[in-house]
Structure 1
Amino acid sequence: MTMRRRVVLVRLISVIGMVAVLALQFGPNRHRMEDDLTRRSVRALTEAGGPPVEVAFTGRDGVLRAGDEATANRAREIVARLEGVRAVRTVVPPVSVPVRPPAPNLRVAITHGRVAITGTVPAGTGRALIRDALDGFAATDDRVTAGEVTGDGLAGIPGLLGALPRQSEDLTVELRDGALTLSGTAGSETEWVAVTAAARATGLPLVERLGVADLGARLADVPPLLFPDGSAWLSPQAQRNLWRTAGLLNAYPSASVRIEGHTDAFEAGDPLSEERATAVRDVLVSFGIDGDRLTTNGLAHDRPDRPDDTDDGRALNRRAELVVTGQLSP
């Protein structure tokens, strides 16, 4: 081995030796310093109170792990003031927020007494309660499915469905996003009151788009009230028609009606037409209708329904008609 190589080898051994000596000297000192900073930090944080904080030091640099930002910021201020601390870093683990299932949805549409029900409800008794509440409809198209949804808002739905009229022509109830919507047309004022009251009783936010069928149109479906020539006598058929009329008026308790009497061109005018209007009023009162809701008006032959040149035309002109003068307007 040459002299030069011997010199290089000696120097290399010397450097390695010095490194080993320094490692043996400073290694324990470093650990002691880190342990000391950790102990003093924990003690300071404990004395300050508050939630627990994890403390770790690498050299003179500290890492604090806290449950939230406020706790982390307060801990950093405390530890950073300690002697020997160079830097402090905080770590706040992300908060895991559980994913809540969506709310249920339900749509019940009644058309001509037939009900179609769609939507998603939680599995279990909820679906059975809804199905049972719709018992009594002529036909039910049940397309409700059980899914991963909450039961929010469903508690009062069976009561609402039980209040729905079984012979409704056009009525829809929809539950979506925790709110109820009523739409369509209730068959009468009493139906409208019952359905809206049941919807409000659920305690859910309510959008009311439900109208009320026109009483005048329903009265027009009742067969005409006709009288014999020269008379204000109501036949048994006419009284049966008035019984149907009384039923309609009971279904519209806020409505007021004017009873108009008419004659043909060959009868005595005003007195007879007024008698006919009064006769209709008296029968309705006997059927339980409040007389304060009824007014009369004899129009004689002022408004003929048919020409008087035939017997049939004259017969149709000897009549009484009911005109709605006031009705609930939702």
Structure 2
Amino acid sequence: MNTFRSNRMEGPWNYQPCRNGHPFPMRKADTCLDFLCKYCGKTLNVFTYHRCYAINAYCYKCRHHGHFARMCSFHAKSCEHPKPKKKSKSKIQRDSDRMRTFMEKKQMSQFPFQGLEDKELSAFTCSIQDESAKLHINKLKASHRNSLKEIAVLKGEKSKLDTVKKENVILKNNLDTLNLECLQHVRLIQKIEWELAEHASRTQNFEIDLVRLKEESLSLTNTRYRLTMDLKNAEMQDCHLIKKLKDEIQRLNAQHSDDIRECQDLLHELSVAENQIKSLRSNYPNNSHQHQRRGGYQRR
């Protein structure tokens, strides 16, 4: 069907169904580009986004504004990623109860008197005169009781097995923890062995150093003994020299005392001579004045 949408938009429109089942207009490939507006579904060579017809439009699918319902992708997105449904705990319990009652009814349907009520069953048994049928029914009842007992025993064994399984799980977890602890202990043992090897190597080095130090101590003791002997010899020589120097000092002191005495004697003699000269000068004063007058100063 070819129609004209408006006076402003020229050219025939071809309505074709989209992938959601809603028709939207598309132009022919020979007249325009195959590029449609995602809001109204028209080609973009005629108008721009701000002139779109679906700016204020209302979508009847997603209940939002801004696009037509034929271009809405709400249903497609919801169908592409369906959310998984989760049952509640009450529904899960209800389903398990229904399944249990169904299995019980299925097991009871094997008996011939399953559809009869208690009164009908009692009337049926009273009406039967054959003892063989009664015995057969009694046997069936006994077998049913035994089966119920066996079921109870099996349930008890099942509960025991469940407890054993839980204990096995606990033991498995404990075993895992023990294995981890064992690995940790093995690592600690390896670390201790490595430290012991290092300690052994250090002790060997210490022993070598100890032997070297002992040799050095012996050499030092020898040098010390030699130096002490040299020191003693030097002290003895110094003592001899000091003794000689003391004797020389005493001799020099004695000689000095003799020289001092001689000097004192000489000084005494000199003082005596000076006194004599002074006395002589005092005895001849006139002669000295005469000589000064005649000849001037006295010659020295």
TM-score (norm 1): 0.19
More helix by share: 2
More strand by share: 1
TM-score (norm 2): 0.20
Which structure has more relative contact order (CA 8 Å, sep 6+)? It is 1
Larger gyration radius, structure 1 or structure 2: 2
